[in-house]
Amino acid sequence: MSLETCKPGTIAAWGGEETPLAFGAAQVPIVQSAPFAYPDIDSWLDVALLRADGHIYSRNTNPTVEVFEEKIRLLELGEAATSFASGMAAISNTLFTFARPGDRIVSISDSYGGTSKLFLEFLPQMGAEVELVETGDGDALDAAIARGCKIVYLETPTNPTLKIIDLERAIVSAKRAGAISIVDNTFATPINQNPILLGADLVVHSATKFLGGHDDAMGGALVGSAELVRQVYHYREITGGNLGAFQAYLLLRGMKTLELRVARQNETALAMARFLDEHPKVEQVFYPGLESHPAHAIAARQMRGFGGVLSFSVGNDFDATKRFLNALKLAHRAASLGSVNTLAGPPCTTSHVECSAEERAQLGIPETLVRYSCGIEAFEDLRNDVAAALDRV
Ligand SMILES: *Cc1c(COP(=O)(O)O)cnc(C)c1O
C-alpha cells in the first residue's frame, strides 16, 4: 500500500518514516551532525557528485530534516518539498529565488505582517515592483494579474481578519498570465485545504504554527513542482536558512497529531465564533465558518474545515480590549497561533507587530481586534473563560 493513497491522519503518522532511519529505531532519530563522514574519498565523491544517495553537510541535507520534508510533501500532495529555519525564511527564500529587478509581483493587502514587509520594503529595494490588491476583491486581483506579472502570492484565510481568497479563480488568472502561483497555507493547514489540488505551483508554511502545533519549534516548508522547489532549495542551501535537525524532530513529533488537533480546533473555533456572534459585548466576529461571513460560500467550497483561528472586536477602545485580554485565564497572551494551548493577542503584538499603527489603520485592522487561536482544551472551559473575561469589558 502506498501512503499516497492514504488519508491525512495516516500520512501524518507515517509519512516519511515507513522504513526505520537507523538502528531499527521505531521513531525518527535526531541526526545532530553538521558534516557526514566517509570511509574513503571515492565514496565521498560519489555522494558529492550525486552518483549515490547520502549526505555531505547539514546546510544542504540532513536525514532528520528529510523526513520532515517528506511528511509535509505527502500532506500537501506535491512533487517535491524543502524546508527552512522559519516560515519567513521559506517565504523570503521563495520570493527572492524568483524575483528579479523589473519583475512584477501581485499579492493582497492582508498578507502576514512579515510577508507584507517583504512586499513594501525588501522586494522594492531590489528593484521588483509589487502591486497589493484589496484582499477579497476577486475582480481587482484578476485585473492586476492580467496586467502581467512573474509571481502571484496568495494567502487564505488571512491574518488577522480571516478574509478568504478564491484560490481556484486567482490561480486560473495566474496561469493565464504565465505567473508562478504561491499560496501560504499556514492558517488552513493541509488538513483543511490543499492549494495544489486547486492548481497552485507552490505552497509555503510556517511550520511553527499548526504543523508543529506545540509552540516549541520554529520552521518553514515549501511544497510543489519539482523544478521550482529545486531552484528554491539551491537558493536556500547557499544562503543558509536551513531547518535544524532537533527542530525537525520536534516538528515531526507534533505533526503526528496534526489531523486530531486540527479536527478539534476546527470544531472549537466554529462553536466559539457562534457563541461570540450572539454576545452583546462583541461588535464583530471574523470567521469563515459563519454563514454571515462574506466569503463563506468560497470557503465552504475550497476548505474541508474552517480552521482554528478567529478574531473579534471587543470594547470601544484599546483599553477595554486590554482588560478583556488580561482577564483570560486559559489563553497565553502570546504572538503565535496553532498551538495545543489557546493563544490570544491584539494585532499590534501578533500578526502585525511589524507594522506601525498608521499601517494597521490603512489595512483596516481595528485596534480593538482580538485574534484568538483555539487550542485543544475543552470548548466549554474556553467558552466560560471568554465569557468571564467579557464581563470585565
Ligand atoms: C507566522 C506566520 C508566518 C511566518 O512564520 P515564522 O515561522 O514566524 O517565520 C508566515 N505566514 C503566516 C500566515 C504566519 O502565520
pLDDT tens digits, residue range 78-121? 999 999 999 999 999 999 999 999 999 999 999 999 999 999 99
With a 6 Å cutoff on the Cβ, whether 184 touches ligand 1 is yes
Pair 360, 352: CB distance under 8 Å = yes
β-strand pairing of 282-286 with 309-314:
antiparallel
Question: 56 C-alpha to center of ligand 1: Å?
Answer: 29
**Residues forming the active site:** 59, 112, 184, 209
Spatial contact of 226 and 80, defined as CB atoms under 8 Å apart: yes
pLDDT of residue 351: 67
Q: Which segments of 107-222 does DSSP mark as H helices, in order?
A: 113-117, 123-125, 138-146, 167-176, 189-192
Q: What's the CA gap between 265 and 256, in Å, rounded?
A: 15
C-alpha cell at 333: 497572551
373 lines ligand 1 (CB under 6 A): no
What would the pLDDT profile of 1-51 be if each residue is shown by its tens digit? 789 899 999 999 999 998 888 899 999 999 999 999 999 999 999 999 999
Angle at 158 between CA 153 and CA 160, to 5 degrees: 140
Is residue 187 in contact with ligand 1, taking CB distance under 6 Å? yes
Half-sphere exposure (Cβ direction) of 234: Cα atoms closer than 13 Å:
8
Q: Which of 107, 164, 206 to mutate to test the pocket of ligand 1 (most atoms within 8 A of CB)?
A: 206
Q: Following CA atoms 294, 298, 303, 309 in sequence, which dihedral angle do they give, to the nearest 10 degrees?
A: -20
pLDDT of 269: 98
Of 314, 277, 316, the C-alpha closest to 389 is 314
Residue of 211, 299, 296, 307 lying closest to 265 (CA atoms) = 307
Q: Is 84 in the pocket of ligand 1 (CB under 6 A)?
A: no
Q: Which atom of ligand 1 is nearest to the CA of 155?
A: 13
Q: Give residue 357's pLDDT.
A: 77
Low-confidence ranges of the chain (pLDDT < 50): none
Residue 102 neighbours by CB under 8 Å, 6+ apart:
127, 128, 129
In this structure, the residue with its CA closest to atom 4 of ligand 1 is: 87
Q: Which atom of ligand 1 is nearest to the CA of 91?
A: 10
* Conformation bin of residue 156: beta by default, left when phi > 0, alpha when psi is -120 to 50: beta
Half-sphere exposure of 273 (CA within 13 A, CB side): 26
3-state secondary structure of 284: strand
212 lines ligand 1 (CB under 6 A): no
Residue nearest to atom 15 of ligand 1 (CA): 186
What residues contact residue 232 under an 8 Å CB cut-off, 6+ apart? 82, 93, 94, 97, 202, 222
| 193 half-sphere exposure, CB direction, 13 A CA radius | 34
Atom of ligand 1 nearest to the CA of 338: 15
Atom of ligand 1 nearest to the CA of 89: 9
Residue nearest to atom 6 of ligand 1 (CA): 87
Which mutation among 117, 209, 311, 339 tests ligand 1's pocket best, with the greatest number of atoms within 8 A of CB?
A: 209
